[in-house]
Amino acid sequence: MKIAYRSVLAGCLVAAGLAFSGGAAAADYPSRTIHLVVPWKAGGGTDAIGRAYAQALKEVSGQDVVVDNINGASGAVGTAKVAHANPDGYTLILNGNADMNAGLTFRHEPYSQDDFIYIGGVYSSPTWMLSHKDRGYASFADFAKAARAHPGQVTIGVGGANGALMLMAAAIRGVTGLDVRIIPYSGGADLKKALLGNQVDAGVIHAPVLLQEVKTGLIKVLATGAPLTRVEYPPIRNIPTLHQLDIPTTFSNVRVVMAPKGTPKEVIEKLGELSKRAVETKGYQAFGEKFGFAPEWIPQADETEAMHEQLKTFQGIKAKYIQ
């Protein structure tokens, strides 16, 4: 009995010690450099947002925040690295929810949604449908009219065959029944060139790409996957959403900060508090104004629900409209 009692007591002491250690670590968090993985090359939109967030997080936390660009396999390499990282709050990832969920929709990735804790969204921008002014489309209705008049000839460009942009184009085509051709380019940069060169009737791409050209009138916004109420250009804030065009789906790319599964609850809560404050800093707000959309903080519970719902939507569109 004494031996059994001592074993139980020892186990309790170990558990208490671990709990105390974890609590103490959480109370001191962060006490050293945080690494923020961006699973894309430097210079892109997600990278720009990640660096602005890292600077703001450094400001409110008092610790250095280093951005690590770990790209490859459409974001899967960096994402997998964080999924299997030490869950201590010092290795995080910032990625677009649409980018991550598109990967999970089209490919067998070495991770799942359940491998992460979603701390919250730090920047949201809709996916929009654009057209060169010389096409003569003032609205989505004009585009649809042309598609009905010329079956199989009107085109929608997208930045890849297996991504969120393809899914939005497929939803537009599938729900409306328009006989249009979807042309996948090798990436957003090539799609941007095609739109500027008037090589396609329309293109689907994540805002705020081509916002400056929208402001000059060279590029027209025909439709948007989510409201444009936070865009830094008032004349286009009332562009119809897909829902308003009777296409019952939503498309936007929220940049989400995520931690590996198993990160202590206290650390996650602290990260949420710090991230909210980071989004609210003058520097980050100024970045958003310059980048194209006023930043907003999306709390953990809301973003977690949105992540799961978006994946279901993407999978449904692929199953129904993409062969």
Tens of pLDDT along 208-227? 999 999 999 999 999 999 99
Tens of pLDDT along 297-312? 999 999 999 999 999 9
Fill in the DSSP letter of residue 135: G
Burial of 306 (0-12, 13-18, 19+ CB in 10 A): buried
**Alpha-carbon torsion (130, 285, 307, 90), positive or negative:** positive
Q: How confident is the model at residue 10 (pLDDT cuts 50, 70, 90)?
A: very low
Looking at the chain, how many residues does it have? 323
Report, at the CATH architecture level, how domain 8-125+253-321 is classified: 3-Layer(aba) Sandwich (3.40)
Distance CA 279, CA 54 (A): 10
What residues does CATH 3.40.190.150 cover in the chain? Answer: 8-125+253-321
List the structure tokens of 41.
């090359």
Q: How confident is the model at residue 14 (pLDDT cuts 50, 70, 90)?
A: very low
* The CATH number of domain 126-245, selected from 3.30.1330.50, 3.40.190.10, 3.10.180.10, 3.10.129.10: 3.40.190.10
pTM assigned to the model: 0.89
What residues does CATH 3.40.190.10 cover in the chain? Answer: 126-245
Instruction: With H, G, I as helix, E, B as strand and everything else as coil, classify residue 97.
Output: helix
Mean pLDDT of 92-114: 97
